[in-house]
Amino acid sequence: MTDPTIAMMEELRKLDLGLDGEVLREIARIVSQMLMELEVEQQIGARRYERTAGRTDRRNGYREREWETRVGSIPLRIPKVRNGSYFPSLLEPRRRAERALLAVVQSAYVQGVSTRKVDKLLQALGLTGIDKSKVSRVCKELDEVVEGFRNRPLEGKYPYLWLDALYLKVRQDHRIVSMAVVIAIGVRETGERDVLDFEVGVSESEPFWIDFLRRLVRRGLNGVQLVTSDAHEGLKAAIAQVLAGTTWQRCRVHFMRNVLAHIPKESKSMVAAALRTIFTQPHRTAAGEQLEIVASGMQLHWPKAAEILSEAEDDILAFMAFPSEHWRRIYSTNPLERLNREIKRRTNVVGVFPDVPSVIRLVGTLLMEHNDEWQIARRYFSKQSMRKLTHPELIGSLEPVPMRLAPVH
């Protein structure tokens, strides 16, 4: 039998070109073919045309296959055997080279790169371009993983829950429509943060939110003490119906925008500064008193804004019933807003999604990526501070004298 190294060197001598892409592909083809021939010989117990007592099978021609590698597409002639089957070890399911190629395509898709750009990316890497249908097939392999993530059981309690939505453009029934992507994140009783679920819908209607929250409950969501969200009526009604007994915190950021919408431009910064003093108070009593002062100062010039502020007192100060170490992160949906901005940044490249499944595929993969990072990061809240949720006596009842500010004129 010819020594594989000698055979390879003889073939290389026939190539009088430099080691460019074509030569590298030819080298890979030669070596791969030699490996397959050796494996078949070992499997059937005889070399080509050899007669031996130990032969267990016979060759039966070849089948053609294109092998996508990091040096390009390589045509392989895979030996066939008459009885049984033979499959090359280098093509065993998800061998390293093929996994690397798959990762490139999937990563490009996850980064929001269009099909044409994926094709160009592969060519820039020295790989053969992949057509649109092949990209779609590769990317759909993500679907099973994403669905597994969305359907995983939620174990333990989640005292804190944030809910919010962002909007993406999707092609539907030959029209481009804006669809809501609602996301829920939570903090476990041990302090770690989790992406709990997401869903895509035509609007943030009450039935849509009810179905979304019920899905979370069916998967095991329990122990929720505080839900932070904006004041969308459909969402509020869904929270009251599905998560009865929980406290609702109106997002401070959204609330500030609502109030300042009724303030003239030249006075916005002054009023915003006055509103912020409400949230810097050391406890609920002081915050309520400060709110009355600010609302009273606004009444003369901006009565509508003052009315909104007074009516929202309980909703915007609900967070103060919880450990003070958590206040800065639970009085708004900022933890979720940052996640939404990252998703928007990476989906803006797509522009218009071809369908809803493509939205679920990409957004789901991005959320899984963030969730994985959260699992190895520091706890969002310390274990000691989370214990105060089950042991309220640890929160303390000391209420210092609040700082008073003059009314706003």
Distance CA 190, CA 393 (A): 18
Q: How far apart are CA 213 and CA 53, in angstroms?
A: 69
Q: How far apart are CA 209 and CA 397, in angstroms?
A: 37
Specify whether the CB–CB gap between 163 and 184 falls below 8 A: yes
Burial 123-157 (b: 16+ CB within 10 A, else e): eeeebbebeeeebeebbeebeeebeebbeeebeeb
- Nearest alpha-carbon partner for 282 in 188, 145, 399: 399
Tell me how many degrees the CA angle 233-166-324 measures, rounded to the nearest 5.
70
User: What is the Cα–Cα distance from 273 to 405, expressed in whole angstroms?
Assistant: 11
**Whole-prediction pTM value?**
0.70
**Domains along the chain?**
1-87 (no CATH), 93-151 (no CATH), 155-250+334-396 (3.30.420.10), 252-332 (no CATH)
Q: What is the pLDDT of residue 299?
A: 92
211: left (phi over 0), alpha (psi -120 to 50) or beta: alpha
SS3 158: coil
396/109: higher pLDDT: 109
Taking 60 as the threshold, does the pLDDT of residue 397 lie above it? no
Rounded to whole angstroms, how far apart are CA atoms 71 and 97? 10
* Cβ contacts of 375 within 8 Å, gap of 6 or more: 192
d(CA 90, CA 92): 6
Task: Give the integer Cα–Cα distance in Å for 167 and 231.
Answer: 17
The winner for highest mean pLDDT among 5-9, 113-117, 122-126, 239-243 is 239-243
Helix (H) or strand (E) holding 62, with range, is strand 59-69
Query: In 3D, which of 371, 360, 362 has the Cα closest to residue 198?
Result: 360
Q: In this predicted model, what pLDDT tens digit does every residue of 194-235 receive, in sequence order?
A: 999 999 998 889 999 999 999 999 999 999 999 999 999 999
60's tokens: 């039966």
Mean pLDDT (the chain, rounded):
82
Q: Which two tokens stand for residue 229?
A: 């969200």
Closest CA to 307 of 316, 315, 298: 298
Residue 30 has pLDDT above 70, yes or no: yes
Confidence at residue 107, expressed as pLDDT on a 0 to 100 scale? 63
Residue 155 has pLDDT above 70, yes or no: yes
Most confident of 312-316, 369-373, 395-399: 312-316
Output the pLDDT for position 60. Answer: 81
Instruction: Give yes or no for a contact between 102 and 94, defined as CB atoms under 8 angstroms apart.
Output: yes
pLDDT at res. 5: 43
Distance CA 309, CA 408 (A): 13
Q: 121 pLDDT exceeds 70?
A: no
Residues 339 and 255: their CA atoms lie apart, in Å, by 20
> Which residues have C-beta within 8 Å of that of residue 257, sequence separation ≥ 6?
none
Task: Give the CA distances from residue 212 to residues 61, 150, 305, 341, in Å, rounded to whole numbers and listed in that order.
Answer: 56, 12, 33, 22
Q: How would you write 273-313 as a 3-class SS string?
A: HHHHHHHCCCCHHHHHHHHHHHHHHHHCCCHHHHHHHHHCH
329 vs 78 pLDDT, higher one: 329
Highest mean pLDDT among 78-87, 138-147, 321-330, 381-390: 321-330
Contact 188, 156 (CB under 8 A): yes
Q: How many CB atoms lie within 10 A of CB 215?
A: 17
Q: What is the pLDDT of residues 251-297, one digit of tens each?
A: 999 999 999 999 999 999 999 999 999 999 999 999 999 999 999 99
- Sequence-ordered alpha helix ranges (H) in 111-244: 115-124, 132-150, 206-218, 233-242
Buried (b) or exposed (e) across 80-116, using 16+ Cβ within 10 A? ebeeeebebebbeeeeebbeebeebbbebbbbbbebe
Evaluate if residue 374 carries a pLDDT over 90.
Answer: no
* DSSP-based three-state secondary structure for 48: coil
